[in-house]
Structure 1
Amino acid sequence: MSRPGALTQLLAWRRQVGRTLNLMVGMPEYDTYVAHMQRSHPERCVMSYEEFFKERQEARYGGKGRVGRCC
C-alpha cells in the first residue's frame, strides 16, 4: 500500500470513529443535518453549528423545563 493511500484510509477511519462516537452519545453530525435541511426543508433557516449543538444537548439531556437525568 502506498503512503498516500494509507494516509487516506487512516483519515477515513478516523472520521468514521468520530461519527460512531458522536452517535453513541446521541450527537448527530452537523453536516448530515445541513444536508437534510437543504434537501427536505429549503424554505427553513439552517441553525449554526453552535445552535445545533445546544439544541441537541438540550434534547438529549434535558432543558427548556424538562427534568434532567442521566439515564
Structure 2
Amino acid sequence: MSLVDLLRTQCAEAWSAAKATARLAIGLPDYDAYVEHMRARHPDATPMTREAFAVERMEARYGRGKSRCC
C-alpha cells in the first residue's frame, strides 16, 4: 500500500468517526451502526428501513403522541 493510499484510508476513517461523533452530539441516530448491529447480533431479523428507523428513534426520544416543550 502506498503512502497516498494509507493517508486516504486514514482520512476516510477519521471523517467517518467525526461524522458519528457529530451525530451523537446533536442527537441524530446512526442508521449504519444500527444495520451493522442487526447483522452481527440478530442475523435472522430484517433491519428497519432508514425511514422507519428515523421515525422509531424520534418517537423513542420525544415520546409517542406526547406534547413536549423545549
Partner of residue 47, structure 1: 48
Instruction: Give the length in aligned residue pairs.
Output: 69
* Comparing 47-56 and 24-33, the one that deviates more: 24-33
Q: How do 1:9-28 residues align onto structure 2 when only pairs under 5 Å count?
A: 9-28=10-29
Query: Normalising to structure 1: TM-score of the pair?
Result: 0.69
Q: Cα deviations across residues 40-61 of structure 1 (Å, max 9, x unaligned)?
A: 444544210111012112322x
Is the contact between residue 29 and residue 54 of structure 2 (CA under 8 Å) also seen in structure 1? no
Structural RMSD (CA): 2.3
Q: Percent identity at matched positions? A: 36
Give the 3 Å change call, closer, same or farther, for CA 13–63 of structure 1 in structure 2: same
Tell me the TM-score normalised to structure 2 length: 0.70
Counterpart of 2:17, as a letter, is: Q
Equivalent-residue separation in structure 2 for 1:16 and 1:63 (angstroms): 29
Gaps of 5+ in 1: none
1:66 maps to 66
Structure 1 residues 42 and 19, CA gap change in structure 2 (3 angstroms): same
Query: Of the two structures, which has the highest relative contact order with CA contacts closer than 8 Å and spacing of 6 or more?
Result: 1
